[in-house]
Structure 1
Amino acid sequence: MAWYHQWASFAKRLAHVIAKPMKRDSGHGGMMVHPYRGYGSQQEVFVMGRVFRQAALGRAIPRRGMLRDTADVARRIFRRGLANAKVDIRIGENQLCLTTDRDGYFDAHLPISTALPVDISWHRADIMVHADGHLPIRTSVEVYVPPPEADLLVISDIDDTVMFTGVAEKLKMLYRLFVRKPHRRTAFPGVASLYQALYRGQTEKAERPILYVSRGPWAIYEMLETFFQLNRIPVGPILFLREWGISLRRPWPRRAEAHKRDLIDRMLALYHDMPCILIGDSGQHDPEVYTEVVKAYPTRIKAIYIRRVDKDPKREQAIQRLRAELAHTDCELVLAADSILIAEHAHAKGDISARGLQAVQRDVEAHHNEPE
């Protein structure tokens, strides 16, 4: 019966994480605001979020426990975006007013006219939301602005690059995330120390922007945040998810490769004075998308790191052909079996410190020595 208790534990933990955003209203329902961590520069910042209308809890539902979590999961499934809500955003002395779209989203582009402090990387954006028939709501969210020491932009895929997913293994992935012990969770060996090394840089004080992209919908944002915290991966803005809501206006999710390319273009324009490295996996379209990026920005991309997630000879040959296409550029495409190879290349190029490389080597070795 051990398997039953494990799966029961899995169901409880998963329900609790999915239900967590709903608990902010103490069961009263009404309007709720969910901002996502923002990003920007000293010239402009971007803050995205969604405003919801959600049902209240019945009086018979207890305040805690599995029944409450189940009720909150149901409330989350049936909540709806609130259109035309007024959103006021202030960061420092800079302010912007806008309204939510028909699905309740707001995507704020706030020009910075009054400079932000340069001695910190994370700034607080204060948000006030008004909507007819609802009490105003105040909330806040963190916004990342690179410090002057930042010398490199890192854009990384999440799915099958940072964490094991497997399109056909979502349930197993969630089981690993919420039931198994922290060191047996879903991150690839050495990923935490690799991204920490990239974040700190050669000087170990760089605090570089690391921006993560996922093919998943915004609905999994909280689970991704939990995953990053549990696995000690540097928390950058998890910016680039897709809205998967099915409607007559938008019957299908946007293609992942088009979504990713547009966002890379946006980030390269925002951080126009920084070189960039791109990290992805061999299982999807990352090598092709990244190769096209290098062709469009031949002087901006320092390296492409592709994590090998299968051993399909045809796929490897296709990636090697892409590597040959980039031979005349300053960018090298590295097909890596593990985090150590990526770290060794990054160290050789001067992008991480010797201590960072050693940390990756220790973590991967420790993982291999763990008992199953």
Structure 2
Amino acid sequence: MRRLKVAIRHATSFIRRLVHILAKPMKRDYGHGGIVVNPYRGYGSRDRVFLMGRVFRQVGLSRAIPRRGMLRDLADVVRRIARRGQAEATVEVRLGEDSTTVTTDRDGYFHANLPLTTELPEAGGWHHAELHVRAKGEMPVRTTTEVFIPVSETDLLVISDIDDTVMYTGVAHKLGMLYRLFIEKPHQRMAFPGVSSLYQALHRGADDQGARPILYVSRGPWAIYEMLEAFFQLNRIPVGPILFLREWGLSLRHPWPRRAEDHKQAVITRMLALFDDIPCILIGDSGQHDPEVYTRIVEEHPGRISAIYIRRVDDKPDRERAIQALRDQIRHTRCELILAADSLLMAEHAYAQGNISIHGLNAIRRDVKESDGETP
């Protein structure tokens, strides 16, 4: 009986926290409803920047609903399910002296590709873009979002998955993934050993002086953005992060997430186009579709991808053989696919290619050994 009570208490806590997380995006309108803008962090080059986001129309909160507590969270979850992407809203994006105007699609998404004709105050780093949104019958909405522009001397672009690549989520085990995504606090979301030092080494480059862009792609929903941001900060993982999350389609018409592999390939293709001829490293895991998606990208962009690092997250022989077949499939290119059990194997290959320094490699060795309980 005692175990049953404990289980019920844990289940109740799980449900409360899950409901609160699902309701969190609705708090931004303070219950007023109307037009709401969810912008993603942008990225760009010295010539142009790319921004995306979504515009919603959502109902207001009844005055009979308390401003805090479980009832408020449940009401906000209902509002979230009932909200709709605002089609044909105009979104003006301004960065420095340059601007462009785009229109949202039928699901409320907007994609802005903004050419830069005037030089920004800083050569590289974070910049603030202004967004001005207008929709028929609604008051205009203004907001800002961040855009990362690397320095002109950038010699390498790193694009990495997050789930089961940077942090352990257990994507192959759906219930465990939901618990880690929605319930665990950021400091409890365990990063893989050596990840922090590996990504720092890739960010700094072979001379330890660089500031390469590292772009992150996640199959998670927008609702976990704040937790992922805190996780990156706690684990000292660069840069940003710049996160491209997808809308899970939480609505009556689309109750399930859209295909993650389609989302990932489209986003990476846009990144490659934006950064022109800069060589790229792709990092992912063996648990889902990363090897297949990355192999297609290598074939579609010959010469652009210098390496694919795939973290092995299971011991399934069939899956390993399939990945080895993909490696053979791109053997004729300059790209090598590395199936790695840990961050150290990725780092050793990156060092051999001249992409990280010996100091970076030694830091990764030390972190991996310390995680295994050894004395470095």
Quickly name the TM-score band, shorter chain normalised.
0.7 to 0.9
- Give 1:283 deviation, angstroms: 2.7
Question: Displacement of 1:84 after TM fit?
Answer: 2.0
Alignment map for 1:317-356 (pairs within 5 Å): 317-356=321-360
Contact 1:149 1:207 (C-alpha < 8 Å) held by counterparts: no
Q: Deviations over 1:28-59 (max 9, x none)?
A: 22221111111111111111111112222222
Aligned-pair CA distance for 1:327? 3.8
What is the rounded CA distance, in whole Å, between the counterparts of 1:79 and 1:251 in structure 2? 13
| TM-score in terms of structure 2 length | 0.85
CA RMSD of aligned residues (A): 3.1
Q: TM-score, normalised by structure 1?
A: 0.86
Q: Which runs of 5+ in 2 are unaligned?
A: none
Q: How does 1:1-372 map to 2 (within 5 A)?
A: 6-167=10-171, 169-177=173-181, 179-180=183-184, 182-218=186-222, 221-222=225-226, 224-234=228-238, 235-239=240-244, 241=246, 244=249, 255-369=259-373
Q: Distance in 2 between matches of 1:47 and 1:357?
A: 34
Residues 153 and 330 of structure 1, relative CA distance in 2, 3 Å threshold: same
Inter-partner Cα distance in structure 1 for 2:361 and 2:180: 27
Cα pair 1:152 1:274 within 8 Å, conserved? yes
The 8 Å contact of residues 176 and 186 in structure 1, kept in 2 or not, is answered as no
Structure 1 residue 241: Cα displacement: 3.0
Letter in 2 for 1:120: G
State the Cα deviation string for residues 86-136 of structure 1 (Å, max 9, x = none).
211110000112222222221111111112234331111001112233222
| SS state at 1:135 partner | coil
Q: Provide the C-alpha distance between the structure 1 equivalents of 2:68 and 2:176, rounded to a whole number of angstroms.
A: 27
Structure 2: distance between partners of 1:333 and 1:116: 38
Larger mean Cα displacement after TM superposition, 16-25 or 81-90: 16-25
- Matched to 2:126, the amino acid is W
Which string of whole-angstrom CA distances, capped at 9 and with x for unpartnered residues, describes residues 177-209 of structure 1?
555565541432332332232222223342222
Q: Is the 8 A contact 2:32 2:60 kept in 1?
A: yes
Distance 1:113 1:275, change over 3 A: same
Distance of aligned partners of 1:52 and 1:181 in 2 relative to their CA distance in 1, 3 Å threshold: closer
Kindly tell me the number of residue pairs found equivalent between the two proteins: 369
Offset of residue 270 of structure 1:
1.6
Range 116-125 or range 143-152, more displaced: 116-125
For 1:116 and 1:221, locate their aligned partners in 2 and report how far apart those are by CA, in whole Å: 27
Q: Distance in 1 between matches of 2:170 and 2:43?
A: 29
The verdict on how the C-alpha distance between 1:251 and 1:62 changes in structure 2, with shifts beyond 3 A counting, is closer
Q: Which amino acid aligns with 1:18?
A: L
On the 8 A contact 1:18/1:223 being kept in 2, the answer is no
Deviation (angstroms), 1:258: 4.2
- Change in Cα spacing, 1:241 to 1:200, as seen in structure 2 (3 Å) is farther
CA distance in 1, matches of 2:81, 2:363: 42
Change (3 A) 1:366 1:42: same
* 8 Å contact from structure 1 (residues 6, 179) kept in 2: no
